[in-house]
Amino acid sequence: MDVKVLVIDDSQMVRRMVSNALQGAGFATVEAVDGVDALSKLTDNGDTKLIVCDVNMPRMSGIEFLEALRNDRKSELPVVMLTTEGQPELIQRAKSLGAKGWIVKPFKADLLVAAAKKLTT
Amino acid sequence: MSVLDYLRLPPEISDFERRYLARVNRIGLYACAAFVAVTTLVAWANGTGPLLALTLGTLALVGPVVAMRTQPSPRTHSIVLGATSMVLGGLLVHFGQGPLQIEMHFAFFVLIALLAVFANPMVVLVAAATVAAHHAVVYVAAPRSVFNYQAAWWVVAVHALFVVIESVAACFVARSFFDNVIGLERIVTARTAEVTARNADMRRVLDAVTQGFVTITADGTLSPERSAAFERWFPTVTAGSTWFECLATRAPSFAERSKLAWDEVVAGFMPIELTLDQMPREFEADGAHYRVEYRPIGASEPYERFLVVMTDVSDEVARAQVEAEHRETMVVLERALVDRNGVTSFFEEAAELLKTLDHASTPMAVLQRNLHTLKGNASLFGLATIASKCHALEDLIVRTGEAPNAAQIALLRHEWERASRDAERLLGRPATVEFDEEQYAALLELVRTNAASVTILRWLRDRRMEPTQRRLAQFADQARTIAEKLQKPDLTVVIEDSGVRLDARRWRSFWGAFVHAVRNAIDHGIETPDEREEIGKPAGGRIWLRTRSDAHGVVVEVQDDGRGVNWNRLREKALAAGLPANTNDELTRAMFTDAVSTAESVTEVSGRGVGMGALLDATRALGGEVSVHSTPGVGTTVRMSFPVSASRPLESLKPAAA
């Protein structure tokens, strides 16, 4: 069965680009528009193996989502943050919450796929 | 290699060989002395004259002692010792006469084998020659001295054959010993010299290249070998410091970001191609631009060392800057050819906006709005460098929550002054009224036919009135560019200008802010092509730009066929900002309030919630009002209605009193 990745971003364009890249490499993707949406979709899909998450989102930011994931859900799922350049504080915050790494937007599809493969094997 | 070269050692003697031979020669001499003692003992036991044995033996030792005193080469000492050992062997056989005499010959074989220790085939060869000569002479002169029986010549020949075979073997052992052990030092020296030369070559390369080269370990520690350029850029670097500490001396925030990204590289969670690709690349320090690249050293992961290549790209950056400025000048020129007054009024208005940035008293909201308007208009007129400087300042305000300081504004001002110098050169005097041939003929005709002065005045005044068609066409161009940028291609723009003409000077500020309405319609109104197709709309969006004028005044409209205003979301935002949001009017007002924006992301084209406020202000300045009509899923119309007074020219139409 395809490895399932949860893609969280409020921008439909980014979600679509991430999904396309991952699906092209044989991953299955589930999309969520923000942290709240992501938490609801995570219950339905216990088989998710990786989360790719934007930082700036309405309702629940990427950092808040990460906190909820680690503290409330007690989940240790690998999370990769999507950021724009020059956000050292956010990156450090995400790292302290156990984010595996971060990918700077705009990202290169092949490198995103390489990261997803490395984190799911 | 010929046999002779094999037997003869290369002439130079290394220090190692010299020390070795000195020691072995000394031991050889002691061994010879001991041999004399043994021969004397044998002579005494055998009753063959120990005194003579001692005398002859001691005389034989004179040779090597003299050689070691007088000859400079230790190899000569070895050769003399070799020959002496054979003479001593001969003495042993001579004084060993009796039943054991033939056994005494074993001494020769033992000695020849031992001579290999001198690592010199010549020693073996000379010894073999000595023993051969000794046997030949003594066999003829005093046969009893060598053989204790009547030996035939062929017996002597068999005897000699063993010596030859052993000598060949001993030569081989000696030469191998020399080449592989004694000569090893020579090989090491040669290699060392080669490596030193290569290092010197490398050093010359490192001194000559204009790039900064240095290798670092995974924890960032610098290697001592660095190129001269590196030393020049970081003169204060101390032993054991890391690359990032080094970098921090010139560009602290770049260093911090680099260190953070480097932690990712060495953590190894993410693929190294990705993490290296995300290393911050360019920085500016003391007026120069540098590019930094990282390359792993070694065949495969985990890499322990990395090459850091730093290049001064100031020239490249300066060239790109000049090219960009040149391109912009061309764009401004093109615009000026089509719409000279439009360009002039843009520059006049932008200059006004820029002035407000310098006043410390300017409220933050106004500052943001003016920056935003300036950014929009600059990109409308193709001044991308100014637009990007404005964007950077906007970013700064959002990030720090503080107004930019004088130095940061100066960057924008500097860019602005360059652009306006160019524009002045291209445009000459600002704002001119031009007549073409046809218009000139019409004017002459009016005067010639004694037309009423009011008619002539109206005619002249109308030359100052600009057809809105020209403006709307400009916005249509801009709209298509924005749509491309936002990945919403194939935008259709419909212009319905109804032949309206307006005074360019009176409407200058309004047109400056109007671009926000166009931008909003595309960014927030028009859906993405995918969304549109899902709900059965054509993939490309459509907007209408309208002007019309009637007895009630002038109307300017932007209509889109997009998703419509999300009133609920707008209400949430308005309430969050502490604004009333019950009636449609209140909601419309909220929509045009700074800091309330339904945008969920900030892009280079819109979304900071300041543009619509500028539009509202500009509309009100002309006595107008804004209304919004929106149907979910069908589209939105933003309508600006102005009183009749706004459609009048600035000049009075009343002829002066006669």
Is the torsion defined by CA of B35, B40, B41, B43 positive or negative?
positive
3-state DSSP assignment of residue A85: coil
Q: In Å, how far are B252, B320, B584 from B218, measured between CA atoms?
A: 20, 35, 61
What values do phi and psi take at B208, rounded to 5? Answer: -90, -30
Q: Among all residues of chain A, which has the CA nearest to that of B277? A: A111
**Are B274 and A103 a contacting pair at CB < 8 A?**
yes
Tell me the average pLDDT of chain B.
85
CB atoms within 10 A of CB B562: 25
Alpha carbon distance B539, B476 (integer Å) = 18
Half-sphere exposure of residue B579: CA atoms within 13 angstroms, side-chain side = 22
Q: Which of B94, B164, B103, B176 is nearest to B129 (CA)?
A: B164
**CATH code of the domain made up of A4-120:** 3.40.50.2300
Alpha carbon distance B53, B657 (integer Å) = 159
Of A11, A88, A115, the CB nearest to B256: A88
pLDDT band at B487 (very low <50, low <70, confident <90, very high): confident
E strands, B469-541, are: 492-496, 501-503
pLDDT band at B124 (very low <50, low <70, confident <90, very high): very high
Whether B603 has a pLDDT exceeding 50, the answer reads no
Range with the poorest average pLDDT among B303-317, B321-335, B634-648: B321-335
Range with the poorest average pLDDT among B281-290, B558-567, B569-578, B621-630: B569-578
Q: Kindly indicate whether the ipTM for this predicted assembly is greater than 0.85, answering yes or no.
A: yes
Task: Write the pLDDT tens digit of every residue in B409-468.
Answer: 888 888 888 888 877 776 665 556 667 788 888 888 888 888 888 888 878 877 778 888
Contacts of B51 (CB under 8 A, 6+ apart): none
* CB-CB contact of B519 with B557 (8 Å): no
- pTM here is 0.53
- Smallest Cα distance from B257 to chain A, Å: 7
Best residue in B256, B274, B278 for a mutation probing chain A (most A CBs within 10 Å): B274
**Are A115 and B271 a contacting pair at CB < 8 A?**
yes
Decide which of B112 and B415 is more confident: B112
The token pair at B567 is: 């009133």
Task: Write the pLDDT tens digit of every residue in B151-187.
Answer: 788 888 888 899 999 999 999 999 999 988 887 777 8
* CB-CB contact of A74 with A84 (8 Å): no
**Average of per-residue pLDDT across B634-642:** 92
Which residues on B lie below 8 Å from A56 (Cβ)?
A: 601
What values do phi and psi take at B445, rounded to 5? Answer: -65, -40
* CB-CB contact of B263 with B256 (8 Å): no
Which DSSP category does A71 fall into? I
Element (H, E) at B131: helix B121-141
Task: Write the pLDDT tens digit of every residue in B619-633.
Answer: 998 999 988 888 888
Decide which of B533 and B33 is more confident: B33
Phi-psi region of A77 (alpha: psi -120 to 50; beta: other; left: phi over 0): beta
Q: Which of A47, A69, A65 is nearest to A56 (CA)?
A: A65
What values do phi and psi take at B630, rounded to 5? Answer: -140, 140
Contacts of B294 (CB under 8 A, 6+ apart): B265, B276, B279, B306, B307, B308, B309
Q: Among all residues of chain B, which has the CA nearest to that of A12? A: B528
Best residue in B256, B264, B270 for a mutation probing chain A (most A CBs within 10 Å): B270
- Smallest Cα distance from B521 to chain A, Å: 17
**Are A80 and B270 a contacting pair at CB < 8 A?**
yes
Q: In Å, how far are A58, A109, B52 from B58, measured between CA atoms?
A: 110, 93, 10
* CB-CB contact of B635 with B562 (8 Å): yes
Task: Write the pLDDT tens digit of every residue in B304-318.
Answer: 899 999 999 999 998
- Smallest Cα distance from B395 to chain A, Å: 11
pLDDT band at B656 (very low <50, low <70, confident <90, very high): low
Alpha carbon distance A106, A14 (integer Å) = 9
Contacts of B157 (CB under 8 A, 6+ apart): none
B402 touches chain A (CB under 8 A): no
How much of chain B, in percent, has pLDDT values that exceed 90? Answer: 32
B277 touches chain A (CB under 8 A): yes
The full set of domain ranges for chain A reads 4-120
Partners of B548 in the beta sheet?
B555
* CB-CB contact of B358 with B409 (8 Å): yes
The stretches of chain A forming alpha helices (DSSP H) are 12-24, 35-44, 62-67, 88-96, 109-120
- Smallest Cα distance from B241 to chain A, Å: 23
Which residues on A lie below 8 Å from B267 (Cβ)?
A: 101
**Are A100 and B257 a contacting pair at CB < 8 A?**
no
- Smallest Cα distance from A4 to chain B, Å: 18
- Smallest Cα distance from B236 to chain A, Å: 27
pLDDT tens sequence for chain A (121 residues): 688 999 998 888 788 889 999 999 999 999 998 888 888 888 655 688 999 998 888 788 889 999 999 888 888 889 999 887 667 788 888 888 888 888 888 788 899 999 999 998 8
Cis peptide before A106 (omega within 30 of 0): yes
Which residues on B lie below 8 Å from A103 (Cβ)?
A: 270, 274, 278
